[in-house]
Amino acid sequence: MLSIIQAAGWPIWPLVACSVLALALVVERFLALKTARVAPPKLLDEAIAVSSKGLPTPDTVNQLAQNSALGEVLASGLRALIAQPQSSEAELRAAMESAGRSVAHRLEKYLNALATIASAAPLLGLLGTVIGMIEIFGSQTGASVGGGNPAQLAHGISTALYNTAFGLIVAIPALIFWRYFRSRVDEYLLTLELAAEQFVRHLGRVRK
């Protein structure tokens, strides 16, 4: 790998940096978007069961908020009802929507950066290709007909090809993971929205 980087010349270093950054973002998003950290399957049922007989204590609400992203949204509704026992369903829904926007922002964190890498990597590879072509033509300047500098010519061709290939190697996985995480976030957001709507109706019954 080191020999390839050396053969590709300095234009490949931005691509190396992009590859390292993309790998770090992918690992971070895999950890942050685990189901247990976003929307545990049984959490909604547990929250409904705990609050069916009356509003839970503030400590219980805080534990719910720290459980996961879904817990944070559900806890915002409970806190609004505890603070204002006569809150309407519209007010409770507004409180939960506000918490949901904050959660959505966190779920989408770094996705734009990953998409930028997927878009920029081929362009950086193209830049290396252009530089390699410039070196090729530069090696022929002043050369006699049928002559030229074979070593410089070979170096320019390798620079062009290595940068083009490395740009695609970085861009394709970055694009795939971006689409995967984008789909996963959209699925989580739908789950949170449906759970919040069900919990609002439940809180409306508790309030009465």
Is the pLDDT at 180 greater than 60? The verdict is yes
Whole-number pLDDT of residue 96? 94
Report helix, strand or coil for 144. coil
**Domain residue ranges of the chain, discontinuous segments joined by +:** 2-207
Residues 107-124 have a mean pLDDT of 94
Residues 144-172 have a mean pLDDT of 74
Cα separation, 100 vs 96, in Å, equals 6
Residues 102-125 have a mean pLDDT of 94
Cα three-residue angle 122-125-126, rounded to 5 degrees: 90
| 191 CB burial (10 A radius; 0-12, 13-18, 19+) | middle
- Give the other-Cβ count within 10 Å of 173's Cβ: 17
Alpha helices in 52-149 (DSSP H): 58-67, 69-83, 89-107, 111-140
Is the pLDDT at 208 greater than 70? The verdict is no
Residues 99-114 have a mean pLDDT of 94
Is the pLDDT at 115 greater than 60? The verdict is yes
Contact 7, 159 (CB under 8 A): yes
pTM of the predicted structure, to 2 decimals: 0.84
| 184 CB burial (10 A radius; 0-12, 13-18, 19+) | middle
